[in-house]
Amino acid sequence: MQDIEFTFSKIGEEELKLISGGRELQDKWRDTIRAFMDNIDPDDPEFITLREAFMQRFKEHGFVIDSIAKFNEETAALDSIINRLKAIQKSNRVLLNKYNGDPKFARVHKRIREINSERKEKSKKPIFTFSDHEISIILQMIKEDVDQRVYDKNDILKKDAYFEQTVLQIVANMLSFFPQISDEATVDDYNFVKNGIARQYLNQYNATYATA
């Protein structure tokens, strides 16, 4: 993204004065790139669609401003992208607040929400529950236990299979407090949540210590 060429060409001196030398547009450009880079959830389908549309628009042809009309067009395009990114960030912050700022569980919550949305359309049973509030309560309980296990045994993340099994046991134990949910949950549901949580912890661990 950051290597996309950004140039002004064939714009006269008077035109450049009208648009303050293009500084406002360049600021919007930098703000847009920063908003993409600051996103906590690269697997968000809406974010992926927006990023791909952005790359297709600007990567193939560069960002060349050669007229006032082009300037206005690209300004409007960037404003639209920034507003959509802000909406994504706002939604992410709501979930982050539920998990004490932990993006791992915000991402897991979103993946469950996405699957549940698909299941609801097909009149299928949800993963655990369709209630966002109930999902957050369950995940908060799971997070507390998983974090404690990682804290108590700091090498647990070095053993992927063992850690995944530990997470699965924690998920099963937590759901025992919600019999109305656990009675309806399938093996695939358990594994989906287990895999999502374990992947988040292992990815974070590997990213932190891969070069250590």
Q: Are residue 83 and residue 130 in the same domain, yes or no?
A: no
Which residue, of 96, 122, 140, is where some domain finishes?
A: 96
Same domain, 106 and 171: yes
Q: Would residue 182 count as lying in a domain? A: yes
Q: Domain check: are 56 and 121 in the same one?
A: no
Three-state SS at 168: helix
Report the distance separating Cα 196 and Cα 103, nearest Å. Answer: 12
| pLDDT reported for residue 13 | 61
Is there a domain that residue 111 lies in? yes
Helices (H), 21-131: 23-38, 45-58, 68-98, 103-121
Same domain? 117 vs 84: no
- Give the per-residue pLDDT at 25: 73
Total number of domains constituting the chain: 2
pLDDT tens, residue by residue, 71-84: 778 788 888 999 99
What span, in angstroms and rounded, lies between the C-alpha atoms of 109 and 118?
15
- Distance CA(134)–CA(113), nearest Å, equals 12
| 65 Cβ neighbours under 8 A, 6+ residues apart | 7, 8, 9, 11, 22, 25, 71, 74
In a domain, 171, yes or no: yes
Same domain, 117 and 205: yes
The model carries a pTM of 0.86
**For residues 102 and 168, is the Cβ–Cβ distance under 8 A?**
no
Question: Do 48 and 148 share a domain, yes or no?
Answer: no
Domain boundary among 36, 67, 96: 96
Q: Which residue has the tokens 């974010």?
A: 47
pLDDT at 12 over 70: no
**Structure confidence by residue, pLDDT tens digits, 173-204:** 999 888 888 888 899 999 999 999 999 999 99
- Show the domain range for 139: 100-209
Q: Give a yes or no: residue 1 inside a domain.
A: no
